[in-house]
């Protein structure tokens, strides 16, 4: 089977915002406690943070981490998480049926973010609370001093403000599972007033308003239109969330789901344009895809805790999906989809980062290890920065219940400004056939293959674990650039990345 594509250096989709490769850490399960924070761990730093985890986060080079939730934020009292640790209250977390000790709060997380080389993206509670706690939190975090909340921050040991730019106005406010769920009009109003107040403090903030929790919500996409109608003038991004399941255990169907992701992004981009035109606005609003991942492996085992049959445990194992090789292909296709929409999707947050539906896992008192999906994310984060190119693709496809004519090859290309390299990410969805791929390179000058990596040849259910990481990249072979064309044979069910250097 054959597929061909043309890349032209001036045929551009858009500039990729590095924050497309962000992530998310919530007070949920073992993300914080025994995830990033474990004071008794042999690698713990002076703040009790696991250095082995920080090293892996640094390896992924995550530019931004959303915090502290997620569903958790919708009943969160941020004031509980500051001041002397021994005086902080333990609260019941309704979202995850757990106890929250507040031993890690904004100060501790900010120190961690600094050590991990990432920026914080903070969410305010618009579920059980509203405008006042949100503006107070902003003052606490960002004001230099001379006011009640900023002076309290100083008293609590942090002289300099953190200067957080990105703020999420609540989380998944359309969801029946959310504490303080709202209608689109109710939410639109509170989000508008909160954004107005936050902007009255600092016009340069980047504010994210909640879109639908997922495209299967009954209110989607009217929700986006109503919420943006209220808030268009005061926000910069609308958030989208999507998790991928494999309900039929059918690989062809599973890997076709990025067609739904594509439609979701296109629809919301259309809604943004509709409201922009309706308001005769010159301003742009972009998409913050601030929760995405595969999430289904752990659903059954979490049921007992989430249905409240285990009391209120502190940091129980929850959402600990163990990813397999099939998920590598899915994550590769998801990242390619984001790259192809780089003109409108500016922020992305892999949900989540540690232990909870995460690329990084930890053993309490033991090692940290890389899940299978660590690698496609690593490659995209490391080599997927620059300009996204619009490829003219010609590739055979297949039909499933999910979508028609799903191309066997999922391809994205990025031109790096930093070193001039052209990076091509390819997933072959075909289950039995290699595909002979021919990519015409126009306007790039002399090129050669400077890196060729693939993840290939594993059982679809193969996983990694603390004792070994067999599902990992290896060097690809046989790719050549000649006469201005890249030619390579892409193995069935494989993830591949080429870098074509100058």
Task: Give the residue numbers annotated as catalytic, written as ranges.
Answer: 172, 291
Strands (E), 204-270: 206-210, 237-244
Distance (Å, whole) CA 418 – CA 339: 17
* Residue of minimal Cβ distance to ligand AHR: 70
Smaller CB separation from ligand AHR, 168 or 426: 168
Distance (Å, whole) CA 240 – CA 410: 22
Instruction: At 6, list the tokens.
Output: 């043309």
Smaller CB separation from ligand AHR, 293 or 415: 293
Residue 375 belongs to what H/E stretch?
A: helix 374-383
Smaller CB separation from ligand AHR, 168 or 342: 168
Smaller CB separation from ligand AHR, 175 or 386: 175
Task: Name the minimum Å distance from CB 25 to ligand AHR.
Answer: 10
Distance (Å, whole) CA 355 – CA 30: 6
**Any idea of the CA torsion for 413, 416, 421, 427, to the nearest 10 degrees?**
-20
- Cβ(278)–Cβ(233) below 8 Å: no
Task: Name the minimum Å distance from CB 71 to ligand AHR.
Answer: 4
Task: Name the minimum Å distance from CB 392 to ligand AHR.
Answer: 36
Task: Name the minimum Å distance from CB 54 to ligand AHR.
Answer: 21
- Helix/strand/coil for 165: coil
Task: Name the minimum Å distance from CB 449 to ligand AHR.
Answer: 38
Cβ-count burial 139-150 (b if 16+ within 10 Å, e if not)? bbbbbeeeeebb
Counting other chains too, the contacts that 48-53 makes at CB distance below 8 Å and 24 or more residues apart are: 48/108, 49/108, 49/111, 49/112, 49/115, 50/362, 50/368, 52/362, 52/367, 52/368, 53/354, 53/360, 53/362, 53/368
Task: Name the minimum Å distance from CB 271 to ligand AHR.
Answer: 20
Query: Which of 484, 405, 409 shows the shortest CA–CA distance to 439?
Result: 484
Contact residues: ligand AHR, CB under 6 A: 26, 69-71, 171-172, 291, 351-352
Task: Name the minimum Å distance from CB 299 to ligand AHR.
Answer: 12
Smaller CB separation from ligand AHR, 25 or 391: 25
What is the Cα Rg of the chain in Å?
Answer: 23
Smaller CB separation from ligand AHR, 172 or 327: 172
Smaller CB separation from ligand AHR, 31 or 198: 31
Smaller CB separation from ligand AHR, 150 or 288: 288
- Helix/strand/coil for 229: helix
Distance (Å, whole) CA 42 – CA 51: 9
- Cβ(487)–Cβ(344) below 8 Å: no
Task: Name the minimum Å distance from CB 178 to ligand AHR.
Answer: 8
Instruction: At 160, list the tokens.
Output: 């300099």
Q: Which residue has the tokens 């961690």?
A: 112
Distance (Å, whole) CA 278 – CA 272: 10
């Amino acid at each position: 089977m054959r597929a061909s594509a043309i890349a032209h250096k001036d045929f551009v989709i858009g500039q990729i915002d590095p924050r497309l490769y962000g992530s998310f850490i919530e007070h949920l399960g073992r993300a914080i406690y025994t995830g990033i924070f474990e004071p008794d761990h042999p690698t713990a730093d002076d703040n009790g943070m696991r250095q082995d985890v920080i090293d892996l986060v640094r390896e992924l080079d995550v530019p931004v981490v959303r915090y502290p939730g997620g569903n958790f934020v919708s009943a969160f009292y941020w004031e509980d998480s500051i001041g002397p640790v021994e005086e902080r209250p333990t609260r019941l977390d309704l979202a995850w049926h757990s106890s929250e000790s507040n031993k890690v709060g904004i100060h501790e997380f900010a120190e961690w973010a600094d050590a991990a080389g990432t920026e914080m993206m903070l969410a305010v509670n618009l579920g059980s609370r509203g405008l006042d706690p949100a503006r107070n939190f902003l003052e606490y975090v960002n004001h230099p001093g001379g006011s009640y909340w900023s002076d309290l921050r100083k008293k609590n040991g942090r002289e300099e403000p953190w200067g957080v730019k990105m703020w999420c106005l609540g989380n998944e406010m359309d969801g029946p599972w959310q504490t303080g769920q709202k209608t689109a009009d109710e939410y639109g109003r509170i989000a508008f007033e909160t954004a107005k107040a936050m902007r009255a403090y600092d016009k340069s903030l980047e504010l994210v308003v909640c879109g639908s929790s997922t495209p299967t919500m009954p209110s989607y996409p009217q929700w986006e239109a109503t919420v943006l109608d209220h808030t268009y003038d005061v926000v910069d991004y609308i958030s989208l969330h999507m998790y991928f399941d494999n309900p039929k255990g059918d690989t062809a169907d599973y890997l076709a789901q990025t067609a739904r992701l594509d439609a979701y992004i296109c629809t919301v981009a259309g809604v943004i344009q509709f409201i922009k035109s309706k308001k005769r606005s010159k301003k742009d609003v972009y998409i913050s895809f601030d929760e995405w991942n595969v999430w289904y492996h752990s659903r059954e085992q979490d049921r007992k805790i989430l249905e409240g049959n285990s009391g209120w445990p502190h940091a129980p194992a929850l959402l600990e999906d163990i990813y397999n090789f099939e998920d590598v292909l899915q994550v590769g296709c998801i990242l390619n989809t984001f790259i192809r929409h780089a003109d409108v999707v500016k922020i992305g947050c892999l949900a989540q980062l540690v232990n909870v539906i995460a690329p990084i896992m930890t053993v309490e008192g033991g090692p940290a290890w890389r899940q299978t999906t660590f690698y496609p994310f690593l490659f995209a984060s490391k080599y997927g920065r620059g300009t996204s190119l619009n490829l003219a693709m010609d590739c055979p496809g297949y039909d499933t219940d999910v979508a028609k004519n799903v191309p066997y090859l999922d391809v994205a290309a990025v031109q790096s400004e930093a070193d001039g390299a052209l990076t091509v990410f390819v997933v072959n969805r075909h289950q039995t056939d290699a595909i002979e791929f021919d990519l015409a390179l126009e306007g790039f000058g002399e090129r050669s293959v400077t890196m060729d990596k693939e993840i290939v040849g594993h059982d679809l259910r193969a996983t990694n674990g603390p004792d070994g990481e067999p599902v990992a990249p290896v060097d690809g072979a046989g790719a050549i650039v000649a006469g201005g064309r890249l030619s390579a044979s892409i193995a069935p069910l494989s993830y591949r990345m080429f870098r074509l250097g100058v």
